[in-house]
Structures are given as C-alpha cells and as structure tokens.
C-alpha cells in the first residue's frame, strides 16, 4: 500500500466499520472470506450459474476474437488471452500475415510462463518501445492487476530481459524513453515524493548504469497535484521534450523542456486539452476562452506551435459544438487529421488536411451510419492508413484497414456469439426533473409486450466526461439478451456525450442532477411498459458504483435489484483513500464543511437508513483494487447486513480496479451478476 495509507484502523462511534479499510488485515480478510463463501454457496452452485459462467468464459476464451494490433517498427503486435493462456501472450506478425484469416504469430513474451518461472501473479500492463529500431521496450507488469506496477527493460529481438537493464520498483509511476541510455522516470522516490493521491509529483532523468538514487531532478510538483510526468517526442524532425503537471482531472499545465532544462509553459487554459503533433498545437477547450474573440467550450483550435510560442493567437477553428454534437477524439495520420464527432451519441468522421490556406475539410467514405466507430492511426509518422473499429449492440464488431480517400477494407470480424435476429436496438429520450432531455439506448425483443413484466438491466456511469456508446458484447448477449432480458444504457449528465458542458453540469454540488437523469430513464422505462420496479435492475462500477449506490439509497422504489461494482460509497473519507484525492474536482472536498454540506447528499454510506426498505443489492469489489478502495464496498455491505437488509457480497482477491485478472475470474464475476439479477428480477 502507499506509504501515506492509514493502518491499524479501529472502529469508532463515527464509523464502526472503519476496521474494514485495513485491506489485508486478518480480521477484515476473514470477514471477506466469510461473505465470499456465503455468496458462492448461494449463487454459484446452481446449474444455471455454471452454464452462464461456461458461456461467458467461452466468449472470453474464444480463439476467433479480433486480435487488435499495434504497429511497432516492422511488426504488428498483439496481446492475447485464451483458455491456454490465461495471463496472456505478447506476440507479433507482419501485415501480410495479419490480413490472413489465421495469421502466423511469433510469441515475444509469455506471461503465464513468466509467472510460473517467478512464482508471481503478473498481469500485463503494456510496452513502451524505443524508436527508430524498436529493439528495446519497457514492459509494465502489475501484481494481480493493480494500478501499481513494475517496469523492466526487454529486448524485442532476443526476446529476453536485458541483463542489468532499466528496472523500476513497484509504484504508480512510470518511465519514458529519451534515448537508448536515458529515461524520464516518475515514481515513488521515497518520503514526500508522491501526491496526496499516491501518484508521482517528481520527475527525474535517469542514465543507464547508474542507480535510481543518482537520477537528476527535472521537475517537482506539489503534494496537491494529481500527477507529474515527462515525455520525449521522437517524431523525426520534431524531436522535443515535454513536462506535464496534472492539477486535477481535466486540468493541467504543459511545458516544453529545452536541452538546458529550461521550461517554457504552453500558455493555454489549464482546462484545455493540449496536444502537439509536428508543427501543430491543438487545443480542445473545456471552458469558453475570451481572447477578444470568444472560443466556445468544446471547440477544437489549431495553431502552429512556433507561432503560439511567440505570442500569436490567430487560431483556426477545426470544430465547434452544437446542442447535439461533441468531439470524441482527433487522430493524426501522416498528412491528415481525422475528427470523430458524436451527434446525439452517434459517431461520424471527417478528414481535415492542412494546407497553406488552412485546413480543408472532407468526408470519410465507407463508415457505417449506425453504431459506434473508433479510428486510430496505424503509423502517424509514415502513412495515412488508419484502423477502424465499428460496433453496435446487435452486430459483431469489425476491424477495418483504410487509407484516407479509399473505402475501408474489413480484415477481422468478431464471431456471432448470440442470435440477434429477434432483437431490436433503439434510441429514446427521457425528461429529467429539471426538463433536460436525456438520451438512452434500449435493446429489446422485437415482440416485446409492454406489460411491465420484462426483466430489464439499466446501466450507467455519468462522470469524468466518459461517453457510453453502443457496443457488441457476446457475454451480455448470451447471458441476458438471449434469455429475454432488456438492456438499457443511459447517457446521463456527468458523461461526455454532449461535450464538456454535459460533464460540468453534474460536478460537485450539481452531482445529484446525474442521479435525477438516471432515475428519469428508469421512470421512462416503467411509464412505457418496458418493465416495472420489481423487474428493473441497475448496474454500475467505479463512479458508476457511486451512481447505483445512490439509486439504492435515494430511489429504492424504482428498482428490484441493484448491482454496485468497485464503488465509491463513503464520500466523507473517499479523498483519504488511495487515489481519492485526485477526484475532488469531480465531487468536492469533504474536509471543507461547506462542501461536505452538499457531498453528504450523495454519499450512500451516510444516506443509508436502517428503517427504510431497500431492494436486494450485490456488492462486488477487488482486494487488489488500489484505485478505488475496497473499504467502500466492505463498509456499506457490513452496515446493511447488520441492519438485516438483503445483501450479497463478493470480493475477488486479485483483479485491480477491473475486478478480475483473468478470463476465468471475469466470467465468474459476471456470472454472479447475472445469476443475482435473474433470481431477483424474474420473481412475481
């Protein structure tokens, strides 16, 4: 655990369950094991559970899933898990091979074999490979899927660890290549080197062959910052260095670092997303910016970096939002910039091409008009090729390769995991308490009878500017839709579906608006006869767990079952637990009395009333979650159990914030959810 975490926790009059915050304490783990055993005995022994878990695992372990790739040098790398490789293979192939129905793969690193050799439980975290020859990579591995990880240097040609190479001890920090013999390193350097959130606040430059303690200081932030890091831009002809100081989510300072270590600030608003590509600086605004001309929140601006640094502010506006549109992402290829835009939560792509007379706009041919679309460059330094991923609730995901100006060519398609021919996907809008129009997606049987009797699962998130768009899930299809269930995804405020303003509308004291939106969607489903409270379940994780925790405590009359995963629930102490301090820009600071006055109105742990009736609830978390503390779920479950409420609890011992570290663990956790929901929502 981070050095600042509190240990030897005991019960108090204010919080009698404080002892459950001792993550690996004997007493608290005994409590967890008892709850887990009860849950497994009640939910995991039936034939229906075993069948569901088997069906889910078959999807996750399928050897015909899409092998998504990343171009690294001449090869295309993929990380792959299946039944025989639970921890996974890092492997590579050529583009010609990847085009084949069954490519020939070369294994580069076998994580299962590594775990066996080292008697560890490593989970793959990724690789940062050094251009231009891409022989050396910095491999990230975590124990049990935690955010904290180690970094080791690996030789991609010899396919072995570099003897006496760079190695970084376990922390939530990281590294970035400067050159073959030099790294930027941002990590736990000892007492006082971390932010209150447990992330690095110090960046150093580290030379090969020297101890980490000898690394030289590059930049030092403050304990109240969120995260500090540095990176080297290896783009040929545009090599340069940056230091980033994250003040909070969606607020940061970006600096250019000269060879003598001097820092020059990119003097744009802290709330703007700043990105540099070759000669261009792009600014994606989250607030209006008044420079005589007012640039609207949600706009994307472009200017040459050299011009900006000498004080010019003549921006070209590449995107301006409307009431229904927002910018999802922008992606550079060698000669173009591709914009991915949502219009009422539906994707569209456009191509922008820099010229002497500004950016020229054109369409992107061949993109489906329905479902979700993601686009990313194959190699922005060398080509105009892009990968396109298209998906929707009822159509298996496909991966295409496209050259700008040419129709996409489908290379891989996910198998059909369930029969969707009898199903229909629709978009509807509910009206929230303040009159706001809230979109949601509905997946239902075509012949649904609107008599309120259909088991329905409502999912949401509503935070951190995260947008929820349609996606194909073989597991959801097999375990829920194919059995006659309805599935709903709500696009509530706090998300990013309508840009920064949609997110900002539910910050801090306005957080309850997100919950009002979600309740409005639930009520709309009931009013339209899709379902009824006794047949309506709700599910959410992390910030979405806070959402469903508030549905449980504030709107219990609307639901027949509630699933709360890796949640925040104790909003009085959240900022003192693990990474919680980094989320105060989202929720507020409960240590300030005037802010706690509104935070306590959406703190489920404090809203719980033992005298009230609540629907059955399932809490899921992970012991190895070092982002959102498992104490949130533990304490809420304990409080409700003591009050005699219908509580089911399960804590995976590893898995990190994702809740599971292997396909088998994921299948088991998901099967628990579906078994619980079917048992509760099919009653009556």
Q: DSSP letters of 103-119?
A: ---EEEEEHHHHHHHHT
CATH number of the domain within which 510 lies: 3.40.50.1820
Of 568, 480, 557, 496, the closest CA to residue 523 belongs to 557
Give the full edge-to-edge strand order of the sheet including 85-93.
Answer: 70-72, 75-82, 85-93, 106-110
Give tens-digit pLDDT for 444-486. 999 999 999 999 999 999 999 999 999 999 999 999 999 999 9
Mean pLDDT of all residues in 212-225: 97
DSSP string covering 376-419: EES-TTT--EEEEEEE-SSS--EEEEEETTS--EEEEE----S-
Q: Is residue 507 part of a domain?
A: yes
Q: What is the pLDDT of residue 9?
A: 66
Q: Is residue 430 part of a domain?
A: yes
Give the residue numbers spanning the domain of 657: 417-681
Give tens-digit pLDDT for 540-553. 999 999 999 999 99
For residues 34 and 367, which has the higher predicted lDDT (pLDDT)?
34
Instruction: For residue 4, name the pLDDT band (cuts at 50, 70, 90).
Output: very low
Q: Is residue 211 part of a domain?
A: no
Q: Is residue 424 part of a domain?
A: yes
Q: What is the pLDDT of residue 369?
A: 65
Q: Is residue 301 part of a domain?
A: no
Q: What is the DSSP letter of 536?
A: E
Q: For residue 674, which phi and psi values (nearest 5 degrees)?
A: -65, -40
Mean pLDDT of all residues in 241-263: 96
The answer to whether 323 touches 332, Cβ cutoff 8 Å, is no
**Catalytic residue of the set 297, 330, 420, 542:** 542
What span, in angstroms and rounded, lies between the C-alpha atoms of 362 and 365?
Answer: 9
Instruction: For residue 370, name the pLDDT band (cuts at 50, 70, 90).
Output: low
pLDDT over threshold 80, residue 17: yes
Instruction: For residue 658, name the pLDDT band (cuts at 50, 70, 90).
Output: confident
Q: What is the pLDDT of residue 1?
A: 30
Q: Is residue 319 part of a domain?
A: no
Of 343, 340, 347, 346, the closest CA to residue 386 belongs to 340
Other beta carbons within 10 Å of 306: 10
Give tens-digit pLDDT for 556-574. 999 999 999 999 999 999 9
Q: What is the pLDDT of residue 653?
A: 83
**Catalytic residue of the set 398, 432, 657, 666:** 657
Q: Which two tokens stand for residue 135?
A: 């022989």
What H or E segment, with its residue span, contains residue 493?
Answer: none
Q: Is residue 76 part of a domain?
A: no
Q: Is residue 442 part of a domain?
A: yes
- Enumerate the H helices of 583-662 as residue ranges: 584-587, 593-599, 604-607, 631-642
Q: For residue 243, which phi and psi values (nearest 5 degrees)?
A: -120, 130
Give tens-digit pLDDT for 305-331. 999 999 999 999 999 999 999 999 999
Give tens-digit pLDDT for 99-109. 999 999 999 99
Q: Is 3 a catalytic residue?
A: no
- Indicate the length of the chain as a whole number: 684
Q: What is the pLDDT of residue 414?
A: 96
Of 644, 642, 633, the closest CA to residue 604 belongs to 633
The answer to whether 345 touches 360, Cβ cutoff 8 Å, is no
Mean pLDDT over each residue of the chain, to the nearest integer = 95
Q: Is 657 a catalytic residue?
A: yes
pLDDT over threshold 90, residue 630: yes
Mean pLDDT of all residues in 416-434: 97
Give tens-digit pLDDT for 31-42. 999 999 999 999
Other beta carbons within 10 Å of 426: 10
pLDDT over threshold 90, residue 90: yes
Of 551, 536, 526, the closest CA to residue 677 belongs to 536
Q: Residue 209 in 3-state DSSP?
A: coil
The count of C-alpha atoms lying within 13 angstroms of the C-alpha of 336, restricted to the half-sphere facing its C-beta, is 22
pTM: 0.95
pLDDT over threshold 90, residue 5: no
How many domains would you assign to the chain?
Answer: 1
């Amino acid at each position: 655990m981070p050095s600042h975490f509190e240990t030897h926790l005991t019960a108090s009059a204010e919080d009698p369950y404080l002892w459950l915050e001792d993550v690996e304490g004997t007493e608290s783990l005994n409590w967890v094991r008892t709850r887990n055993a009860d849950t497994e005995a009640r939910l995991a022994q039936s034939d229906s559970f075993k069948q569901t878990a088997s069906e889910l695992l078959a999807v996750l372990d399928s050897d015909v899933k899409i092998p998504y790739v990343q171009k690294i040098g001449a090869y295309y790398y993929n990380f792959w898990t299946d039944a025989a490789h639970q921890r996974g293979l890092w492997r590579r192939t050529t583009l010609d091979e990847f085009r084949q129905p069954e490519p020939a793969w070369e294994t580069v690193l076998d994580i299962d074999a590594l775990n066996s050799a080292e008697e560890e439980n490593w989970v793959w975290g990724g690789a940062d490979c050094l251009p231009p020859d891409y022989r050396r990579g910095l491999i990230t591995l975590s124990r049990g899927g935690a955010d904290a990880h180690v970094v080791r240097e690996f030789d991609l040609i010899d396919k072995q660890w570099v003897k006496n190479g760079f190695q970084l001890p376990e922390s939530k920090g990281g590294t970035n290549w400067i050159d073959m013999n030099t790294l930027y390193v941002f990590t736990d350097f000892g007492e006082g080197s971390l932010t209150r959130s447990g992330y690095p606040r110090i960046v150093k430059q580290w030379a090969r062959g020297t101890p980490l303690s000898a690394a030289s200081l590059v930049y030092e932030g403050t304990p109240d910052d969120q995260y500090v890091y540095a990176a080297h831009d290896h783009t040929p002809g545009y090599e340069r260095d940056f230091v980033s100081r994250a003040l909070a989510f969606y607020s940061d300072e970006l600096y250019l670092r000269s060879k003598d270590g001097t820092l020059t600030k990119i003097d744009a608003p802290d709330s703007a997303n700043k990105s540099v590509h070759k000669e261009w600086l792009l600014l994606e605004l989250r607030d209006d910016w008044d420079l005589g001309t007012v640039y609207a929140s949600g706009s994307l601006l472009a200017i040459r970096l050299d011009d900006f640094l000498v004080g010019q502010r003549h921006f070209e506006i590449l995107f301006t939002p409307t009431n229904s549109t927002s910018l999802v992402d922008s992606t550079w290829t060698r000669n173009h910039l591709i914009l991915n835009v949502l219009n009422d939560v539906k994707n569209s792509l456009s191509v922008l091409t820099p010229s002497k007379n500004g950016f020229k706009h054109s369409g992107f041919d061949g993109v489906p008009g329905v479902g979700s679309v993601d686009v990313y460059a194959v190699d922005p330094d060398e080509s105009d090729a892009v990968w396109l991923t298209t998906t929707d609730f009822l159509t298996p995901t496909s991966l295409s390769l496209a050259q700008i100006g040419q129709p996409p060519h489908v290379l891989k398609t996910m198998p059909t995991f369930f029969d969707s021919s009898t199903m229909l996907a629709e978009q509807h809008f509910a009206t929230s308490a303040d009159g706001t129009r809230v979109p949601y997606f509905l997946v239902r049987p075509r012949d649904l009878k609107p008599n309120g009797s259909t088991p329905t699962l409502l999912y949401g998130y509503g935070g951190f500017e995260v947008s929820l768009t349609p996606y194909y899930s073989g597991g959801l299809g097999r375990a829920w839709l194919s059995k006659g269930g309805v599935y709903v995804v709500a696009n509530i405020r706090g998300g990013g579906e309508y840009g920064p303003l949609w997110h900002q509308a539910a910050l801090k004291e306005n957080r309850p608006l997100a919950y009002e939106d979600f309740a409005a969607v639930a009520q709309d489903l009931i009013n339209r006869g899709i379902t009824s409270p006794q047949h309506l379940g709700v599910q959410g994780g992390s910030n979405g767990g806070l959402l469903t925790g508030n549905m449980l405590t504030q709107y219990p009359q609307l639901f027949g079952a509630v699933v709360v995963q890796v949640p925040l629930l104790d909003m009085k102490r959240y900022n003192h637990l693990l990474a919680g301090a980094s989320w105060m820009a989202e929720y507020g600071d409960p240590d300030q009395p005037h802010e706690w006055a509104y935070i306590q109105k959406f703190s489920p742990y404090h809203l719980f009333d033992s005298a009230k009736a609540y629907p059955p609830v399932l809490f899921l978390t992970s012991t190895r979650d070092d982002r959102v503390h498992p104490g949130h779920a533990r304490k809420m479950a304990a409080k409700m159990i003591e009050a005699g409420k219908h509580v089911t609890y399960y804590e995976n011992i590893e898995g990190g914030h994702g809740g599971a570290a292997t396909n088998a663990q994921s299948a088991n956790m998901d099967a628990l959810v579906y078994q619980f929901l079917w048992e509760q929502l099919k009653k009556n």
